[in-house]
Amino acid sequence: MASNLEKNYSQYLKKQRIFGQAFKNKLIQLKNFYIPICQNIYNKYKKSNNTLIIGLSGGQGSGKSTMAQILKIILRDKFSLNVVCFSIDDFYKTKKERVLMSQKVHPLFLTRGVPGTHDHKMIYSSLKNLKSKNFKSLRIPQFDKSRDNRKNKKNWIKIKKKPNIIIFEGWCLGAKPQTFHDLKKPVNLLEKKRDSNKSWRIKVNEELKSNYKKIFKLIDNLIYLKVPSYNHVLKWRLLQEKKLRYSNKSKNVMNNKQIKNFIMHFERVTKSMMKNIKKNDVIINLDNQHKIKSIIN
């Protein structure tokens, strides 16, 4: 293993406040799991000889962002590839746009996250440009979750050079629409009380059928992080928000009650994705301690 890779990998883990046994586990996983995943990505890139979009999907709190950065470090340091990494979360509609959507379509669209709350046109055009042989420099938006709005354009990421690999992460990447029969019964209190006429979940489903399907088709390889059970989605999302409180002085970070309500917005699609897991290219099984248990190609 290249010493430069070891150094940068260790620095990233420490920056993420990963210490002790968790740190040792990550070092073991580097050799046993992360490098083999990157080797497969590298082989596919060499075979295609064109920019690859690697989709990284999984439930809330499953560790997509951490995984994305780790893959980026390895692909850059061990395989000398030019890698850009961003999230579907970066493409949330502005607060103003979601307020308008909540007034015209359904009040639940004020809350960011579900299909329909992203700028799907910007996502599609950005990915198409990044893959194009006629690539032109572009800016990837950045979203400030503590403010629930986009950052100023001067803080957006500028990509000047056509990348070899794009790591595109997002909880709903690859999600399939449900049948109308599946949409009838509410999956939680949020749907029962605030979407009694099913108009919100029907609209979300329509987005998956059309605009998001178009985006997902651009993904060359889809990696899915499989949590042990849906209960872990809430457990790990609470832990994620706890870390955000430590790193962010803003008072707008959610408390536990708000997180539980927030998670309900994603429950339907998340559970549907867990059922359709075999449709992904690579499945990474996580154990109860958030460690990689196995990989299915």
pLDDT digits (tens, 9 = 90+) for 192-248: 999 999 999 999 999 999 999 999 999 999 999 999 998 888 888 877 776 666 565
pLDDT of residue 1: 46
The pair phi, psi for residue 40, each rounded to 5°, is -65, -40
pLDDT digits (tens, 9 = 90+) for 32-82: 999 999 999 999 999 998 999 999 999 888 889 999 999 999 999 999 999
Tell me the pairing of strands 149-150 and 221-226: unpaired
Question: Which structural domains are found in the chain, ordered by start?
Answer: 3-296 (3.40.50.300)
The mean pLDDT of the chain is 91
Cβ(95)–Cβ(261) below 8 Å: no
Distance, CA of 11 to CA of 34 (rounded, Å): 16
pLDDT of residue 24: 84
DSSP for residue 222: E
Per-residue pLDDT, averaged over 151-164, amounts to 95
Question: Any idea what the Cα angle at residue 120 is, between residues 114 and 122, rounded to 5°?
Answer: 135
